[in-house]
Structure 1
Amino acid sequence: MGLGKSGVVLWLCVAGLVPAALAAGKNFVKPTAKSAINYPAHDFHRDEQVAIAADPYDNPEKAKIFSTNFAGSGLLPIFFVVTNDGDQPVSIANMRITLLTANHSKLTPIDTDDLYRRLSNPRMNTRPSPLPLPSKVKGAGKKEMDEVAASQFAARAVEPHTTQSGFMFFDVGGIGSPLQGANIDVTGVTDAKGNELMYFEIPVDKYLNAPVNP
């Protein structure tokens, strides 16, 4: 028995809703981190046995893990990995990260509130401003907020022989080729006695020039 006109319309409506429902049901799963030295772009301090790696999610294939279109809002997610192969914990509570582009722009990870604002208003500039901004966040949906919360780097310490990881997001809107020739500097990592380790310098070109996995 064939479908009547009303039945066809109903079927089309239901079929059209299926992709949206599947997208809405997609839950973020953070990548399983390898030891930091296994990423092309990393810096390893042999004396302290601490390594930090940066893995940019700069293409559509890698960005598939997100349901949020960060690139469409001018945001670059970078997966940071900190591995402590030493016998004492290290603190990263005051870790500071700066992405230094080839054109001498200094980019720091945007904070959570600014991230939500940028997602709700992609044209907004989230780089530091001398003027105070209202703290109330509007427009970012719950799913986007949940995905940001689940993905962000949140660890404050790395215990011996363990690895911590998570994403940080950079406002690269209006910057052409922000990764080419860039370096990532990491400071503020301290040992168990509170002594700051020498800064980490991660050349991003090591990521860009790495062989593509077959």
Structure 2
Amino acid sequence: MADKAKIFSVHYGEFGFVPILVVVTNDGNQPIELTGMGAQLVTASRTKIPPATEDDIERRLVHPSASRSQYPLPFPRKKVKGGLSKEAREEIQNAQFVAKAVEPHSTKAGFLFFDVSEMSAPLAGAHFYLTGVRDGRGNELMYFEVPLEKYLSAPSKR
């Protein structure tokens, strides 16, 4: 998985996010509507996680917690630097899947980021669901289910 993380300058995994690349290709002659599209990451324990918004991602990157443990007494704590660079902000904006439609014979792609910060092995047994993809007349095409278990067991390229 480390080789795939190299495409980003921000290490989203260190901030508790899992980016999933979504690619929608329209080989038909009618546009595909994505305005009602819904995406979920469903863990093995059936926890349903919606994609994080741009604000959620920026907030996490700007305000990382220095320590998650709470002490009963007010010990001095390590200061955490905040602030988000222009490059990081642009990367988030450019990487996210924001397409509202896919024109005939074209492809739209981008990442959806899922907050898995409270989970130890979020992708083991997890599935990614994509619903609400409609044709030009408003008819739902189908839903997509992608098991993520094979991703974890795939051999890494070296």
Q: TM-score, normalised to structure 2's length?
A: 0.81
Equivalent in 32, 38, 42 of residue 100 of structure 1: 42
The residue aligned with 1:13 is: none
> Which of 79, 88, 102 is the aligned partner of 2:30?
88
Determine which structure has the larger helix proportion and give its number. Answer: 1
Q: How does 1:141-180 map to 2 (within 5 A)?
A: 141-180=85-124
Q: Cα RMSD between the aligned structures?
A: 2.0
C-alpha deviation, 1:86, in angstroms: 1.9
Secondary structure, counterpart of 1:76 in structure 2: strand
Q: What displacement does 1:208 show?
A: 3.0
1:180–1:85: structure 2 CA closer, same or farther, 3 Å change rule? Answer: same
Does the 8 Å contact 1:91/1:190 carry over to 2? yes
Q: Which amino acid aligns with 1:71?
A: G
Give the match for residue 79 of structure 1: 21
Which amino acid letter does the alignment assign opposite residue 149 of structure 2?
Answer: D
Give matches, 1:23-172, under 5 Å. 59-123=1-65, 139-172=83-116
Give the TM-score normalised by the residue count of structure 1. Answer: 0.61
**What amino acid is aligned across from residue 2 of structure 2 in structure 1?**
P
Look up the SS of the partner of 1:61 in the other structure.
helix
Pairing 1:189–2:133 present: yes
Unaligned ranges ≥5, structure 2: 67-81
- Which of 139, 150, 156 in structure 2 is aligned with 1:206? 150
Q: Secondary structure at 1:186's aligned position in 2?
A: strand
Where does structure 1 lack aligned partners over 5 or more consecutive residues? Answer: 1-58, 125-137
Larger RCO of the pair (alpha carbons < 8 Å, separation 6+): 2
Identity of aligned residues (%): 48
Shift of 1:210: 4.1
